[in-house]
Structure 1
Amino acid sequence: MGGRGPKRELAEKIAGEITLSDDPGATLRKWRTDFDVSQTDLASELGVSSSVISDYESGRRESPGIGVVSRLVEGLIAIDERRGGDRIRQYGRVLSAGFDSDVVFDLREYATSIPLTRLYDEIDATEIYRGATDRVSGHTVIDSVRAITRLSSDEFFRLYGQSTNRALVFTNVTRGEGVGIALRMVNPTPNAVILHGLEEDDLWEHAVDLARIDGYSLAVTTTPLEGVLENLVTLE
């Protein structure tokens, strides 16, 4: 990381994405909502009217230059710091584990193991199959397509963080087929797998069979990703 902390790394990543985007306003809006910052709060932080932020995001103002982008990003970072720095820490954990933040959205270890049902409750997940163990000591939230297509088997194993006693939450899932097959190639398997973005009726017909063979609990949730990441903070 060249001596730079996660705050600087994150600021540079956001600024780069906005500046290089085909739709800078939409990219700014994506990051602002990811930080759970309202247009009004960001405008207040920068000492401008909320209509200025709205105009940038909607494209009514011409694309902001790098100076304006830097101010916008620093505003988001400053607000997050005052709130306790959840987003900065989240990004730092992903970086320190050696992953890109578009592959792994969050990687967290808990102070003590917790009942799996508590994690389910936080993200409104429905359990489809109960595995061999009913407690977890951490979670990793992963983009399933990017993980499967870009990670080697060694990198895939690093998704477990400090322990396989955890829940792997896979987003960008259509039926869960790819996730189930990928987990067959990795040993040991996690305590729980949660497939994000699909209903139980849409689940691949063999998903439960693979969960039973490998002994992990299997659940699904349709809670929006922003809500999943926000609610999982409470498990720290």
Structure 2
Amino acid sequence: MGGRGPKRQLAEKIAGEITLSDDPGATLRKWRTDFDVSQTDLASELEVSSSVISDYESGRRESPGIGVVKRLVDGLLAIDERRGGDRIRQYGRVLSAGFESDVVLDLREYATSIPLSRFYGNIGATEVATGGVDRISGHTVIDSIEAITRLSSEEFFRLYGQSTNRALVFTGVTRGESPLVALRVVNPTPNAVVLHGIDDADLWNHAADLARIDGYSLATTSTPLEEMLEELVSLE
């Protein structure tokens, strides 16, 4: 990667996506929202009025040139750094594990193991099957469709990061069948699996049985994605 750090790589990714997008304003809005930065905060950082940011995002102002895009991206990253650099670090962790950030949304190792009940409590999850281990020492948040369609079984195993003593959180789930079936080809299994975006009423009817057979805890949560990712930051 030629010595480019995660901040530089993230800047290039965001700038590239905005510049090449069919709707640059919508893509800018997506990244600004991902960074949890208001239009007012970004405008203040760039010393422009909030209406300038609003006009770019709505398409009222013509698509920003590369110079403006660079200023917008630098502004987002500067705000993130002042807040502690969570988004930049998150991207760096995913990169260092060898994944694209649209497959793995977050990957963390904790300083000490924590009770699974605390993890579930933080993200508003409901346990539907109890596993053999009630503590975890990390988590990985995965886009289930991207992971299942793009990762080999060997790459799937790398989702465990440093240890299988962790929770795998699959987003974009409709019933949970695909990620749970995919996990059957990976050994060993994680301590816990969370299916995000559904509640237990929507769950595939064989899901709990499959979890019990393989010995991991299974839970569901419908907490909004960005809110869930924010809650996971506090577990580090």
1:131 equivalent in structure 2:
131
TM-score (normalised: structure 1): 0.99
Deviation readout 1:76-122 (Å, 9 max, x if unpaired): 00000000000000000000000000000000000000001111111
Structure 2 gap ranges (5+) = none
2:107 equivalent in structure 1:
107
Distance, in Å, in 1 between the alignment partners of 2:52 and 2:224 is 28
2:49 equivalent in structure 1:
49
**What is the deviation of 1:130?**
1.1
Distance, in Å, in 2 between the alignment partners of 1:212 and 1:130 is 7
Structure 1 gap ranges (5+) = none
Q: Secondary structure at the match of 2:234?
A: helix
Deviation readout 1:23-65 (Å, 9 max, x if unpaired): 1111111110110101000000000001100111111111111
Distance, in Å, in 1 between the alignment partners of 2:112 and 2:54 is 43
Q: Match of 1:217, as an amino acid?
A: S
Q: Secondary structure at the match of 2:219?
A: strand
Q: Match of 2:85, as an amino acid?
A: G
Distance, in Å, in 2 between the alignment partners of 1:229 and 1:74 is 22
1:189 equivalent in structure 2:
189
1:116 equivalent in structure 2:
116
What root-mean-square deviation, in Å, do the aligned CA atoms of Structure 1 and Structure 2 show? Answer: 0.6
2:68 equivalent in structure 1:
68
2:168 equivalent in structure 1:
168
Q: Secondary structure at the match of 1:175?
A: coil
1:15 equivalent in structure 2:
15
Runs of 4+ in 1 over 2 A off after TM superposition: none
2:153 equivalent in structure 1:
153
Distance, in Å, in 2 between the alignment partners of 1:221 and 1:57 is 31
2:3 equivalent in structure 1:
3
**What is the deviation of 1:224?**
1.0
Deviation readout 1:174-207 (Å, 9 max, x if unpaired): 1000011000000000000000001111100000
Distance, in Å, in 2 between the alignment partners of 1:228 and 1:209 is 26
Q: Secondary structure at the match of 1:235?
A: coil
Q: Match of 2:39, as an amino acid?
A: Q
Q: Match of 1:178, as an amino acid?
A: S
Fraction of identical pairs, as percent: 83
2:35 equivalent in structure 1:
35
